[in-house]
């Protein structure tokens, strides 16, 4: 073992963050870094990454079903029709993070995206995926960046189109979560041949 990957309860090596709770093991093994497509699915991830800003991801992960219930399953067309009464309901909902700026951004972004053509969000986000051959697998957590030129470009492209609360760090977290980049450590079971199911 040359890097930071650690053995989990099953003896297989994983990224250390993916071992801190059972919720993280499942998220790490089954979801993080796997390609996500579809405007609604990407809108959900964009929103959740924005809500995570300044908080730990486990806080968001454990409230994910509450977010889905509160935001109509993150169906863009439905959220775009939310009213001021819906906004007040969201700000009083203990099942989500009741941050006014983040709630407002989520609603405003849905209204912007509702005017986009089907598949346009997917196309824009995925057009910023770097060539996998240009990226070396990280050996250690210190090798994983927080911002890249691609995430900065994605952030600028989204902001130019009217999307709020998506800085370069949030954009990079989105890229990691949605499989645009693979930041599983080189010794992680998810990255090694035959490790991913």
What are the beta bridge partners of residue 14?
6
Q: Give the Cα-Cα-Cα angle 195, 44, 40 (nearest 5 degrees).
A: 100
1 CB-near residues (< 8 Å, 6+ apart)? 13, 187
Distance (Å, rounded) from C-alpha 67 to C-alpha 48?
8
3-state DSSP assignment of residue 8: coil
Identify whether the C-beta of residue 61 lies closer than 8 Å to the C-beta of residue 27: yes
Q: Which residues are catalytic?
A: 27, 49, 57
């Amino acid at each position: 073992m040359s890097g930071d990957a650690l053995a989990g309860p099953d003896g297989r090596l994983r990224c250390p963050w993916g071992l801190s709770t059972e919720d993280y093991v499942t998220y790490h093994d089954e979801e993080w870094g796997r390609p996500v497509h579809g405007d609604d699915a990407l809108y959900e991830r964009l929103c959740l990454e924005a809500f995570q800003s300044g908080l730990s991801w486990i806080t968001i992960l454990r409230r994910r079903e509450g977010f889905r219930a509160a935001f109509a399953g993150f169906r863009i067309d439905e959220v775009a029709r939310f009213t001021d009464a819906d906004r007040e309901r969201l700000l009083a909902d203990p099942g989500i993070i009741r941050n006014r700026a983040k709630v407002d951004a989520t609603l405003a972004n849905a209204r912007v995206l509702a005017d986009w053509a089907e598949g346009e969000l997917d196309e824009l986000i995925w057009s910023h995926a770097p060539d996998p051959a240009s990226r070396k697998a990280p050996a250690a957590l210190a090798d994983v960046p927080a911002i890249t030129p691609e995430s900065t470009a994605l952030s600028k492209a989204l902001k130019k189109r009217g999307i709020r609360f998506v800085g370069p760090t949030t954009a990079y977290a989105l890229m990691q979560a949605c499989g645009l980049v693979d930041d599983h450590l080189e010794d992680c079971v998810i990255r090694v041949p035959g490790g991913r199911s």
